[in-house]
């Protein structure tokens, strides 16, 4: 059977089993086929190569996340037959970022004591005005508040100084990558003006605290990886996780799926009478794990990933 070159990766570089990965949806909407493709890579890789899967509900954004979305995500995962392993420290079937304020406070405190955090009160508009980013590009924080020594009560916003280092890492699928977070985003926002922990900060702390050593996620998050590696090092992590960024699912018109893509929402497919196997197969075909959509089990997806992983020499 012809293999899709998009799926080949260096399985020989995975840590010895049992290693730990995670599925980390944000409950800002329903799961769609893109999440299912991610889940297939996460669970399939873990089943094929001796990993365990933690479920982390990434509800750090208290404004956009909703408990009903979390309930729907859990019901969809159950329906798809995707069962997570228990969190090793708490024994809980999942962790929720909104329950972990103390963990983030304590990580920030460690960095603060090392002089690596400062209070910032720049608005997004000010940063946009100062940054040279073109429309749609990520604005770089120019460090306006870095030397100001603002008192703690000036704002809940906190930034972590990022060293100017070039970060080099070897993505298991995409190979050697070089990123320069200082010129991409500048000093990293850890907590925003509403007191919300940011995705970048929470994810680096959680991956460290939960012992996640393999991060499997879509290519849309590739640009975040260098800064998460720097932050992990700043937090005292000796070996940052390994990363595998997989292909994304696109709509027929080439647009990325979003939580508002009702047509591929899993709840909608279920209402239309799709089976779990048909849903897994449609997601697998969309990211090159199957040549054509057809019903697929998780076991078969794992077998296909076992093949895709064996296709590349460990050093490639
Ligand atoms: N919570 C993120 C999302 O739903 C995924 C984060 C990650 O895998 O690092 O897109």
Residue boundaries of the structural domains of the chain: 5-114+196-310
Q: Determine if the pTM surpasses 0.85.
A: yes
What does the DSSP 8-state code read for residue 243?
E
pLDDT of residue 263: 66
Q: Which residue is it, tokens 């990993």?
A: 51
pLDDT of residue 129: 85
d(CA 16, CA 103): 28
d(CA 288, CA 51): 22
d(CA 224, CA 82): 26
Which H/E stretch holds residue 119? strand 117-119
Between the CA atoms of 102, 221, 265 and 252, what dihedral angle is there, to the nearest 10 degrees? Answer: 170
pLDDT of residue 95: 96
d(CA 76, CA 79): 5
pLDDT of residue 1: 55
What are the structure tokens assigned to 147, written together? 């030397």
Cβ 24 under 6 angstroms from ligand 1? yes
CATH for 5-114+196-310? 3.40.50.620
Cβ 56 under 6 angstroms from ligand 1? no
pLDDT of residue 288: 93
Cβ 221 under 6 angstroms from ligand 1? yes
User: How remote is the CA of residue 216 from the centroid of ligand 1, in Å?
Assistant: 10
d(CA 243, CA 69): 27
pLDDT, tens digit only, all 316 positions of the chain: 567 889 999 999 999 999 999 999 999 999 999 999 999 999 999 999 999 999 999 999 988 999 999 999 999 999 999 999 999 888 999 999 999 999 999 999 999 999 999 999 999 888 888 877 777 788 899 999 999 999 999 999 999 999 899 999 999 999 999 999 999 999 999 999 999 999 999 999 999 999 999 999 999 999 999 999 999 999 999 999 999 999 999 887 777 776 666 668 999 999 999 999 999 999 999 999 999 999 999 999 999 999 999 877 655 4
What are the structure tokens assigned to 8, written together? 């080949």
Cβ 216 under 6 angstroms from ligand 1? no
Closest alpha carbon to 304 in 79, 72, 77, 45: 45
What are the structure tokens assigned to 197, written together? 């922990």
Within 13 A of 81's CA, how many CA atoms are on the CB side?
13
């Amino acid at each position: 059977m012809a293999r899709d070159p998009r799926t080949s990766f260096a399985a020989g570089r995975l840590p010895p089993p049992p290693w730990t990965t995670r599925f980390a949806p944000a409950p800002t909407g329903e799961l769609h086929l893109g999440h299912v493709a991610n889940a297939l890579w996460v669970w399939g890789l873990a089943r094929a190569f001796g990993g365990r899967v933690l479920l982390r509900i990434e509800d750090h954004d208290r404004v956009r996340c909703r408990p009903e979305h979390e309930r729907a995500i859990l019901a969809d995962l159950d329906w798809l037959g995707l069962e997570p392993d228990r969190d090793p420290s708490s024994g809980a079937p999942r962790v929720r970022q909104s329950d972990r304020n103390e963990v983030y406070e304590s990580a920030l405190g460690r960095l603060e004591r090392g002089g690596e955090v400062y209070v910032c009160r720049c608005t997004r508009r000010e940063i946009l005005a100062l940054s040279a980013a073109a429309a749609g590009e990520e604005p770089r924080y120019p460090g306006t508040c870095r030397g100001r020594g603002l008192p703690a009560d000036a704002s809940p916003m906190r930034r972590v100084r990022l060293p100017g280092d070039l970060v080099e890492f070897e993505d298991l699928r995409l190979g050697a990558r070089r990123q320069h977070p200082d010129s991409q985003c500048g000093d990293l926002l850890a907590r925003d003006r509403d007191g919300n922990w940011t995705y970048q900060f929470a994810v680096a702390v959680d991956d460290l605290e939960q012992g996640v050593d393999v991060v499997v996620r879509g290519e849309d998050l590739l640009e975040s990886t260098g800064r998460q590696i720097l932050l992990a090092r700043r937090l005292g992590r000796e070996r940052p996780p390994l990363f595998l960024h997989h292909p994304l699912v696109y709509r027929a018109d080439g647009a990325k799926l979003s939580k508002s893509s009702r047509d591929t929402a899993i709840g909608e497919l279920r209402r239309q009478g799709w089976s779990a196997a048909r849903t897994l197969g449609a997601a697998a075909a969309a990211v090159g794990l199957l040549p054509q959509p057809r019903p697929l089990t998780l076991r078969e997806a794992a077998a296909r990933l076992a093949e895709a992983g064996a296709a590349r020499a460990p050093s490639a």
